Each structure stands twice: as C-alpha cells, then as structure tokens.
Chains A and B, each alone.
Chain A
Amino acid sequence: MTARRLGLYAASTVIAAWVLLPLALIALAALTPREELYRWPRPLWPDRFTAEGMLFFVHQARVLRALWNSVLVAGLTIALALGLAAPAAYALVRYRFRGREALQLGILATKMFPATVLSVPLAVVLIRLNLYDTLFGVALVHTSLSIPFVTLIVASVFAGVPYELEEAALTLGCSRLQAFLRITLPIALPGLAAAATFTFILSWNEVFAATILTLDNRTLPALLIHSVLSEGAPLYFRYAGGLFLVLPAVVILLLIRRYLLTLWGVTVR
C-alpha cells in the first residue's frame, strides 16, 4: 500500500470517526434503561439494552402517520421546488438579461428573514387559501423556503456544464428544450441530487411552519420536537426521541446517496 493510500485511509477514518462518535453515543443512550442514565459515573456501555424508549414511539399510531406525512411533504416539496427553481436557474445562468443580478439577490433575500417572525402571516395566508391543516399547505410553504437555495445550487451546476455542448446539440437539430433534457440535465444530475437532498433535509427538519400550519395532519417534527426534545421531557425520552427522529433521515440518505456521485466524469475534447 502506497504512502498516499495510507494517508487517504488515515484521514478518512479520522474524519468519519469524528462524525460518527456523537451519533453512536446517542444511539447507545437511546437504548440504555432509564435508571442507568442517571447513574454516575455514567457507564459508556450499559449493563443491559432496552428498546423500551424506541418502542414507545413506534407504537404510537400518530407517530407512524406523522412519519409518512413528513415523507409526503418532503417529496412534494422536492418536486415543486425543483420544478420551479430549475427553469429559473437555467435562465439566470444561460441568459444575460436586465435585472439578472437584482433577481439573484432578490431570490436569495427571501431566505434571509428568520422564519419565526413570518409564521403568523404565513398561517393567515394559508387559512385564507383554505389550505390550513393540510399537508399540501405545508409543502407549499416548505417549497417557498427551499426555492432560493435550490435555485442557487442548480444554477451553479448548470454553470459548470459548458454551453458548447448544448450548442452542438442545437446545430444537430434539437430544440432548446431537447438540448436541455438530453445534454445538460444528465450531466447536472449530481447537482440536482444535491439540491434534492438539501430540500429533503430542509423540509424534514422544518418545525416552525409545520407546527403552526397543522392541527391534525402533523409532520414528525411538528408532532414530536416540542414534546420530546424540549427540556421538559425526561432524559430517556429525549435520547430515544432524538434517535427516532434521525433514523428515517439516515435511511433515506442511504437510498439516495447513489445519486450524489455519478459514475462517469465529464470529458471535453
């Protein structure tokens, strides 16, 4: 094994361990029985494991439904955000037009306002649109929160795809749209996957809007975060609940990780 290889492995192991350690601690704590959590000195490895805390969450019917709601909202948000942001990103990158820079800044500016202050006006908008307490309403709001960054990420990716390729397709008789779909889009796929990952995470963890915009059809954070992660909850609940909130995201990241890396590099001759 070359020194370079060794260096690579060493560096990546150290970094991966640093990332994993706190997560491992939480997983351990979530599976530790209550009495042991309060013992001091705290044993790293508990005498026995218990799934009691985790099972509490799994058995609540509302929780599984909320889990599904979160997935639904996140999926809708990704579709809507990409659908709205991709054309805008394409326009911002491929065309020079008046107001381009102002528009860029303007779109970003909508993200610079803390969402907590906007929660009541947003709720009023949704109530008036008759979308209060619907998952669609939450998805709409999440989409508006995602569009700025999705536009930015997708734009930077489109910028990385050389225009010559599209030009070549145009000269071969494709329309602008076809050139985009057949040439640019496949190359930009990792970037779109990154944007989609981003949107998913944003929607999954979003709690302010989701809380105030729903009564019954709650997403998982809206349902759990205040009752489980707030300081009022007993320690064993916080750990179990924390792990429970993270696990679905862990699973979903596992499923989409393939799209973050393409199997081919871009070559230009």
Chain B
Amino acid sequence: MRNRTEHAPEPKATQVVWTPYILVLPAFAYLALFILYPMAQAIRLSLTDPQTGGWTAAHFLRLTQDPYFWPAVRYTLLITAIAIPLQLALALAIALLVHTRFPGHGVFLYLCALPLGLSDLAAGLIWLSIFTERGYLNAALQALGLIRSPVSFLSYEHPHWLLGAIVLTEVWRATAIVMVILVAGLQLIPRDYVETAQVFGARPWQTLWHVLLPLLRPSLQTALIVRTILAFQLFATVVVLAGRLIPVLAGEAYFWYALYRSPNVASAYAVLILLLSGAVTWVYLRTLRTPVEAQA
C-alpha cells in the first residue's frame, strides 16, 4: 500500500505561489459583498444604541434578562446534542447499506433521500398532523383499540414529549443531508482496502471500525459541521410542534425581529448563534483533523 497525500509538495522558500489566492478570490469576494457586509451591519446593530449611535452592551444585557433566554440556550444545545449523534448513526447505517450495492439499493437510496425535498416547516407540519390530538397517531391507536379517547401528546404538561417529537421530526427530516455526504465519501474509499482487510480475516465490524471510519473522516467532519450549523438555526419545526414552550435561539432571534420589532436584540441573538456555531465548528476542525498522510 502506498501513502496517500492530499497536498501538493511545499513550494520552495523563495517563491510565493499566487495560485491558491487567485482560486479562492472569486468565492471570497462574492461572500464579502453578499454576506459579510450585511453581517457586519447586523453585528454593529447589536452593539449600537439606536438613539445615540454609540457602542453599548445593553442589547446583550436585555437578552440575558429575557425569561426565554436561558431555556432557549438549554433547549438549542439539548436538541442538537441528542439529534446529531442519532442522525450520524442512522445516516452511516444507510450509507453502508447502500455501499453493499444490494439489489434495490438505488431505490433504497432514493427513498431515504426524499425528506431532502422538505423544508423544516413542512416536516414540522407533517409530524404535527401525526401527533396532534386529532391526528393520525391517535387515530391509529384508537382504531387498534389501544386507547379509548385521544391522548394529548403535544401538551405543555409533558415537555419531554414535546422535545421527543421535535427530535424525532429532526432526525426524520435531516438524516438525509448527512447521508448524502457520507454516501459520496464512501465511494472514494478504494475497494482494495476493504478487500485486503477481508483477506487478512477481518470481520465486518473490524473492517468498519479500523478501515472505513478513519478513511471516512473528511466526510464525517463535513457532515458534522454542516449538520451542526444548520441545527443551531432550526426553528420552524420547533414553533410548529411546541410553540414557544420550547424556545430555541434561532426562534428567539426571529421573534425579536418580526414580533417585537427590535432588530438590535435580534442581531444580538444572531451574534450569539454565530459565536456558538463558530466555537463548535472549530472544535470539529481540530478534533477530526484529517491526517495529511494516511497509511493503510
């Protein structure tokens, strides 16, 4: 087995290679105009006093004094921490199943990718129609004779059930995102590696753990980053299923913006989401660092 390298050899000390900068420039300039500039404006909004125009931390203070703030932080982290490992496991399972190329794997892949076509609002509505008191779950349970009258699943008296419903909907909808990335990543792993492992008598579980997963690291890292960033911005599903009983950071940002009409505090929430996402992404980039050389 030979070494795999990703990078071109280091340039000589005296020459500066402009190529990478040129390649990156279009994307960067584009983002600077369309996103960075409005983002800078929004960040400035979160730190300025609307009446005097001077710097102030008042908006962030107001944020922390809001009764919804700490629950929002807690629930955002909780939902993310529960849903993402589940999705990772499920997406990996689906990707591996597809990878075996069993007859019908194409259809299977397509079916599992279907939730991609739904926005988080649509997914929330679909599961709402299942869980609501006059919904499909109660109809089925009643038809099977398991209950006599409908059960109120989505009730403020059972916040854990609300959380469960949200996690379930999220796992159902967003696993496809992770799956698509992992499927693509799996196909880059040369078959020889797996075959060689089998020749040496490795069992499927060992092949998975010692061969496939390490080689899948770039895709895993990508999938985790994508999924986490999106998870911190989730709110339509939560609002549909739980109203504001389960506050989440992105939801609070939305309500402060659209309902309370306070763009300053909304921007403060947005900055918070930015910092949180940035911190977690940095952790991912560090711990799941792709080795420059991987030896089989």
Contact = CB atoms under 8 A, between A and B. Distances in A.
A29 B108 CA distance: 24
Nearest to A257: B110
Given A19-B115, A198-B180, A42 B139 contact: yes
B218 A160 contact: yes
Query: Taking chain A's interface residues, is the majority helix, strand, or loop, or is none over half, making it mixed?
Result: helix
B30 A147 contact: yes
A174 interface: no
A201 B218 contact: no
A88 B24 CA distance: 4
B100 A8 contact: yes
Classify the secondary structure of B's interface with A: helix
Nearest to A239: B129
A183 interface: no
A122 interface: yes
A22 interface: yes
Contacts of A249: 116-118
Contact of A97 (B20, B35, B100, B257): B20
Interface size class of B (residues with CB under 8 A): 35 or more
18 contacts: A15-B93, A105-B281, A109-B278, A113-B42, A114-B250, A121-B38, A156-B219, A164-B4, A176-B19, A190-B183, A197-B116, A198-B177, A242-B125, A250-B114, A261-B187, A266-B189, A266-B190, A266-B191
Interface of A: 5, 8-9, 11-12, 15-16, 18-20, 22-23, 25-26, 29, 40-44, 84-85, 87-88, 90-97, 100-101, 103-114, 116-118, 120-122, 125, 140-141, 143-145, 147-149, 151-153, 155-157, 159-164, 176, 187, 190-191, 193-194, 197-198, 201, 204-205, 207, 221, 225, 229, 238-239, 242, 245-246, 249-250, 253-254, 257, 260-262, 265-269
Interface of B: 2, 4-8, 10, 17, 19-21, 23-24, 26-28, 30-31, 33-39, 41-42, 90, 93-94, 97-98, 100, 102, 104-106, 108-119, 121-122, 125-127, 129-130, 134-136, 139-140, 142-143, 172, 177, 180-181, 183-185, 187-192, 218-219, 221-222, 225-226, 229, 232-233, 250, 253-254, 257-258, 263, 266-267, 269-270, 273-274, 277-278, 281-282, 285, 290
